[in-house]
Structure 1
Amino acid sequence: MSDPSAGSPPRRRLAPADRRDELLDRALDLVAEHGAASVTMQAVAREAGVARPRVYDFFADRAALLDALLVREESRALSDVMTVAPRVLAGTDLGDSVTTALEAFLRLVLDRPTTWRMLLSPTEGLPAEVGIRIERGREKIAGVVEASIRAVLGTRIAGLDTEVVALAVIAAGEAAARLVLNAPSEFPPARLTGFTRALFSVLTLEPVPNGRR
């Protein structure tokens, strides 16, 4: 497909930083509509209403464009999780803490559905470096969750293996997020958190006396 024609309405002039953000916004729009595989230099130029060489002014190639988009969206997602995780895990009851954390996480997912769809998507068909970026983003988020569980719950519940709990919470959270994103009417957040609360209601864990492990 050709670049925008000379007869198109003139685009407003933007500062370089604003233009770069706009190109990333249009790339995110493409991810939302057609998946990450649809993000090409030509497609972003078309969505932004600029000539393709203008996209190359900011990004060396498709891999660099996708990497920059992931850096931005990963940063936003990580900031959200870091804000929520320590607060929602503050309770002494593991079931309540995990259920509240899942509920808060699914709200974050629904607030930024395209970001999380991209971070949780398969990496096939993407440049190798982009797949690595996605995996690293997941690892960073997992690290925040594990640190929060260790710091908040590890000293309050006797015999709690915080590493295993963190891995289970992360795996369950990712699975729940995919269900909410892909089948929202069948799997609303309330159904998933209700299941989590019911599951933990049959488990008992002994609190740590005086807050000691």
Structure 2
Amino acid sequence: MSAPPRQRRPYAARVPMDVRREQLMDAALAVIVRDGYGGVSVDAVAKEAGVTRPVVYGAFEGLGDLLTALLDRQQVRAFGRLLAALPDDPDPKDPAALVEVAIERLVTMVREDPDTWRPILQPPDGLPDAVLQRIEADREQVRGIFAGLIAGVSEQQDGVPFDADLYAHAMLAVVEHFGRLLIDDPDRFDTQRMVDGATRLLRLLWR
């Protein structure tokens, strides 16, 4: 009797390394969205992408390296979209309108593409220090943009100038918190509710 034929292992077609890395990052993001960060592993990513573990290790040094690359990619995308969401030519004499337009665009952006924002607003525990430093550096850049907008508004107001740096921290905290609410419970927090709430809250800072 001849031995039964050996079952062949799945074969991953050869693709350029940059394409493979994108494929694996997409697979990791899909696992995060479906199973949370606790479900992410090299095995889970390989299964999601339809490849073997050695293929993953051929593209990344390990899970930490893969998550770092994913976070870097999502940050680049998110930061570009954040800049695009800010008003092109803000009028510092009308801060209420500035806040309303910016918040509406930001809320719409997060609702339309929560997967881009999830690794930024809800980063996993145990990230390498280099990644955490990158997140904070990006936040600092956004805070700087907010501080510039707030300083411009302050120049148009009577009385004591705003503490633009402090207000920028508060504004970013509001934006990030509202972003997490949108990701966690999008049906409960519709766009208009978020816009109204954020606008009223941020207006309090500018009275």
TM-score by length of 2: 0.81
Residue 163 of structure 1 corresponds to which residue in structure 2?
Answer: 165
After the TM superposition, which of the residue ranges 168-177 and 34-43 deviates more from structure 2? 34-43
Matching of residues 1-213 of structure 1 within 5 Å:
6=8, 8=10, 11-87=12-88, 89-90=90-91, 92-121=93-122, 123-150=124-151, 152-158=152-158, 159-198=161-200
Matched letter for residue 63 of structure 2? R
* Distance change >3 Å, CA 204–CA 39, structure 1 → 2: closer
Q: 1:149 to 1:108 in 2, by over 3 A?
A: farther
Matched AA of 2:163: D
Number of residues of Structure 1 aligned to a counterpart in Structure 2: 199
| Gap runs ≥5 in structure 2 | 1-6
**Structure 1 CA distance for aligned equivalents of residues 205 and 68 of structure 2:** 43
The 1:12–1:96 alpha-carbon spacing in structure 2 relative to 1, beyond 3 Å, is same
CA distance in 1, matches of 2:109, 2:197: 19
Unaligned stretches of 5+ residues in structure 1: 206-213
Structure 2 vs 1, CA of residues 142 and 111 (structure 1 numbering), >3 Å: closer, same or farther? farther
Structure 2 residue identity aligned to 1:156: Q
- What does residue 3 of structure 2 align with? none
Alignment RMSD (CA, Å):
2.7
Q: Which moved more, 1:93-102 or 1:21-30?
A: 93-102
Cα distance per residue 1:102-131 (max 9 Å; x no partner): 111112212320221211115424445444
| Greater displacement, 91-100 / 58-67 | 91-100
Could you tell me the TM-score, scaled by structure 1's length? 0.79
SS at match of 2:86: helix
Contact 2:42 2:56 in 1 (8 A): yes
d(CA) in 2 for partners of 1:114, 1:177: 12
CA deviations 1:45-104 (Å, max 9, x no partner) are 111111111111111111111100011000001111122225274452112211221111
Maintained 8 Å contact 1:119/1:137: no
State the alpha-carbon separation in 2 of the partners of residues 12 and 191 from structure 1. 48
Distance in 2 of aligned mates of 1:191 and 1:108: 15
* SS of structure 1 residue aligned to 2:71: helix
Q: Distance in 2 between matches of 1:17 and 1:203?
A: 46
Give yes or no for contact 1:103–1:189 (8 Å, CA) kept in 2.
Answer: yes
> Is contact 1:146-1:163 (8 Å) kept?
yes
Identity, % of aligned pairs? 32
* TM superposition shift of 1:167: 1.6
CA deviations on 1:119-177 (whole Å, 9 max, x unpaired) are 11154244454444443443333333334444x53543442332233222111111111
